[in-house]
Structure 1
């Protein structure tokens, strides 16, 4: 696989409210594992109505940027430290998302779509929790998956993202999840749009923990490669010890 396994381009910290560990702990873990590059990719969500915040507040982003600059000064001679953002796409909040992205310089802008709206409420499509899975299942698994891919395609077109994250993680914990021929065509359209923008596809190794295979699955990866979409590696670490996890399987 044509991918740089000396770079972990997707890690989170306690700042996102659902991970643990300080930024400096992640940097030290990356250095100890021989990585040459570590990119923090903290969560941005706009206008999401959900029981808990799994993303950074505006105040958190100030702390994040300040600490990132400090760590660059301390460790910059040993590893490149990137300050990035994982943008959760909300079709109703495009102007707010674009305005926020202009506030800071970003080394990477990741794109994801976590929260699906049903009658004014948002549900997390990558969650294993019953209060997410039941409403999404009742809404229709095939419909949610189709909407997920069509919304990602829209996001690729409208946002200045550089990397698409965990492409096929939608409803990963639902027993009925299955991609049909129409979904495969949607994925192909996403790849074509990404290629036109020079956007990379993330090979997310958290999948090895969740399902024994990276995100996205091998056939989807092979199609991306065939279409000329570049690949980057990301552990999606939520604890310092997860930095660079399973990268040896990407060779």
Structure 2
């Protein structure tokens, strides 16, 4: 990805899921038609690639799912080429113990975009993973039991390792983890971790996602303004993503992003 400016393109939705991930609804074509109806010029399907995660139910694609995903994506790309640019990518969830397998997945196809994230962490002493972005009470309870601040530090260490090991285009979910676990105060150490992470993101030529799924949850996008300001201070390009899990959510709240970014720049 070549970064050429520091505004945000709200005619492109860079983060779209479908029913293939098992926690969304809607066929791929429904999302394309919704994007066209919204007046978008471009969209990126960004389906979940995970490896070695011990968690149920599954919230990522199987090998067979990916085969269909790519075939259907190419069909839609051709069918709607005169109306919208349809792109096929992955949201790669990093798992330190399966980094080689994930790197193979990243290189398996000429993906139009690779978004880098971390949805699951294996808490030391446990054989199961915790879903950091889940609203399920069992995940919230386990996170609180382990310690939210400690878990967040592990999360940022893992993301930094991901950026260093996986060739990717966009960093996703800078501050989305533990969003249902209650208010979390970022410590000075967390901010130091984030600064190191953003330094690595810039060095790799990656962008950072502004994810509008945060607006229904906390009245503003992910990440929070001070963290977006840190990214801009590092010279990191911002890209818009709805994190759609329903066709009608594609491009949601994009009309609010220009004001949001302007407020960030004014900090």
Q: Which of the five TM-score ranges fits, normalised by the shorter chain?
A: over 0.9
Contact kept in structure 1, 2:106 and 2:166, CA below 8 Å: no
Counterpart position of 1:212: 219
Counterpart position of 1:199: 206
Gap regions ≥5 residues in structure 2: 1-5, 259-267
Q: 1:35-81: CA deviations, max 9, x gaps?
A: 01000000011000002100000000000000000001100111111
Contact kept in structure 1, 2:143 and 2:181, CA below 8 Å: no
Contact kept in structure 2, 1:40 and 1:82, CA below 8 Å: yes
Distance 1:101 1:180 in 2: 33
Counterpart position of 1:92: 97
Q: Secondary structure at the match of 1:55?
A: coil
Distance 1:18 1:175 in 2: 23
Counterpart position of 2:193: 186
TM-score with structure 2 setting the length: 0.92
Gap regions ≥5 residues in structure 1: none
Distance 1:231 1:140 in 2: 31
TM-score with structure 1 setting the length: 0.98
Q: 1:148-201: CA deviations, max 9, x gaps?
A: 011101100000111011210111111252211111111111111011110000
1:224 matched to 2:231 = yes
Distance 2:104 2:38 in 1: 37
1:15 matched to 2:20 = yes
Distance 1:174 1:71 in 2: 38
Identify which of 110, 114, 126 aligns with 2:119: 114
Question: How far is the alpha carbon of 1:104 from its aligned partner?
Answer: 1.4
Counterpart position of 1:63: 68
Distance 2:177 2:78 in 1: 38
Identify which of 140, 146, 160 aligns with 1:133: 140
Question: How far is the alpha carbon of 1:102 from its aligned partner?
Answer: 2.1
Distance 1:179 1:59 in 2: 40
Q: 1:91-114: CA deviations, max 9, x gaps?
A: 000111111222211000001111
Distance 1:103 1:51 in 2: 25
Counterpart position of 2:184: 177
Distance 2:194 2:162 in 1: 13
Q: 1:123-150: CA deviations, max 9, x gaps?
A: 1011111111111111111100000011
Counterpart position of 1:245: 252
Q: What is the RMSD computed on CA atoms of the aligned residues?
A: 0.9
Contact kept in structure 2, 1:141 and 1:176, CA below 8 Å: no
1:72 matched to 2:77 = yes
